[in-house]
Structure 1
């Protein structure tokens, strides 16, 4: 996988393009020799971020010659991706290329048919639209990236770094990927299954008949709540409640309750010093073991690791000078 081609179209965001350039476009003979051969493929006159012109002799038709093709992102997702880009990405995959997307680049892969029947991800804000527009794609909005062999997708912005490092790790091993991560001053490995750190669960609409019931449930998460309890409080049968609940929230009552409990646990882990046992009681999980099991399965990391992540980030924000020399400074 030595040659990497970036698919650039007019208006592509700068950050998503810069990530693969930093990972694959800087020669690193002390790590691996030869390193990757990066080319930028773009139609004439394409601009990046609305400011810079992509001056390159390589057109989109040359994507098919690369071992790896990366689609950094779309200019927008309101319109369908450019047909020439979709055709070029499809041709590259048919020619045997490994194809990866960052953020909304998944819309291009989906339009090319590469995600049909596959599990894929994108930025959580756009996951619902991706699933709606391309119903053959199994969209998972809760992970950082997904490696499905010859097709890889990642969530927004920083998750693109994780995906690129994952590809380096796949190609050259953990030691090389970790050394590169140190130079880029980023975490050496965030597993793809780790959840995107969404600030809060998607709030349900407040113009339906269950708004008062949902508010009551959130206020009583420390108590055992069953579907029958919710149905009794809403004065309806459990079957009717389940139907209306799914229509209003997109989840079954028990799934919605679990999501709220996990979300409340995340808030307590971030903002309090309470023990895992105490938090488990406050969110209605009963025991630390139960909380750890559900938290790890839902978020992708144990609650202890989640707490360390946000505590370390907060400490760096409050005491930036303490971390200037945390890692060796290397050439970017």
Structure 2
């Protein structure tokens, strides 16, 4: 059996079919293609694959020429399946067979938007949580009742199979893949180059709600939030935030909720949890040390809020998202301790 690649460059095979979304293909190629080669040299090798390598008509009128066939899927580290033209039309038997073969060979299988229908037709989503564009969620649930369809997340990460919501959520999912493969620092650099947020705020890593935005005219609220982010390791009270905003506490609470849709304390907890993620991914600090560094009163409080926000524990998150380099350094340190 072919084994999944263990070392970069990771081969990313992207399926291209008639009337595939050129928007989704563009986002995938922007992240994994040569455009970012100066940021992530030798990290990914992109291959566009079709059932019959040729000129493929894309949605919107463009034509894409592909060099590779479906056999490339089983040789890939990651297989990405974008939207097809019509979710009512089942994929070919040849495509289903190659997707199953790729999964058996150890490839990470990813769908964006309506690509979830293709994965479901191949049986790769049976018994798994999955998402798709909210417009098609009911149809996916009806046609594939064994799939645990959730229309709310921007993406769902179920280890070796990941599904993304519609349209621009493709970028969120692509950044998530970079973050898993190479850590927060590189994913953030990619996000900066693409002029997008590196990680949209929200409830959990696999369940991301819309980010909190503050209109530019709310200078007091913006100033208080910036101040809080600079003092996360310290006790931050509503009274202190109100002082930074030059408002009374009552007025501050009202204005904060109006412009952000949440409370100052809930926002602060979310920011502290978010600030702890790169520490879990890249540092050797203990959970207790990280809790203190981001301003939680105790490790117990930190674990409680982390679990509520991320739907997993800090230790489990660290195991899932820690970069290869950090893990190697930790192993080297352990070896030195035993010498």
Q: Note whether the superposition's TM-score is higher than 0.5.
A: yes
Counterpart among 163, 172, 175 of residue 182 in structure 2: 172
Q: Secondary structure at the match of 1:70?
A: strand
Q: Which residue of structure 2 aligns with residue 192 of structure 1?
A: 206
Q: Which residue of structure 2 aligns with residue 73 of structure 1?
A: 83
TM-score by length of 1: 0.59
Unaligned runs of 5+ in 2: 1-7, 212-251, 270-304, 311-339
Sort the Cα spacing of 1:109 and 1:276 in 2 relative to 1 into closer, same or farther, 3 A.
farther
Unaligned runs of 5+ in 1: 198-272, 302-332
Q: Which residue of structure 2 aligns with residue 48 of structure 1?
A: 58
The alignment of Structure 1 onto Structure 2 pairs a total of residues equal to 217
Sort the Cα spacing of 1:26 and 1:56 in 2 relative to 1 into closer, same or farther, 3 A.
same
Q: Which residue of structure 2 aligns with residue 15 of structure 1?
A: 23
Native 8 Å contact 2:48 2:68 kept in 1:
yes
Sort the Cα spacing of 1:276 and 1:139 in 2 relative to 1 into closer, same or farther, 3 A.
farther
In 2, distance between residues paired with 1:105 and 1:31? 28
Native 8 Å contact 1:127 1:140 kept in 2:
yes
Counterpart among 260, 268, 275 of residue 254 in structure 2: 275
In 2, distance between residues paired with 1:291 and 1:69? 36
Give CA-to-partner distance per residue, 1:108-155, whole Å, 9 cap, x none.
Answer: 111111111110000011001111111111001011001111100010
TM-score by length of 2: 0.58
Counterpart among 56, 59, 69 of residue 59 in structure 1: 69
Following superposition, the deviation at residue 79 of structure 1 comes to 1.8
Q: Which residue of structure 1 aligns with residue 107 of structure 2?
A: 97
Following superposition, the deviation at residue 62 of structure 1 comes to 1.6
Q: Does 1:128 align with 2:147?
A: no
More moved, 187-196 vs 154-163? 187-196
Q: Secondary structure at the match of 2:34?
A: coil
Q: Which residue of structure 2 aligns with residue 114 of structure 1?
A: 124
Sort the Cα spacing of 1:69 and 1:278 in 2 relative to 1 into closer, same or farther, 3 A.
closer
RMSD in angstroms over aligned alpha carbons? Answer: 3.1
Within a 5 Å distance, the mapping from 1:123-272 to structure 2 comes to 123-190=133-200, 191-195=205-209
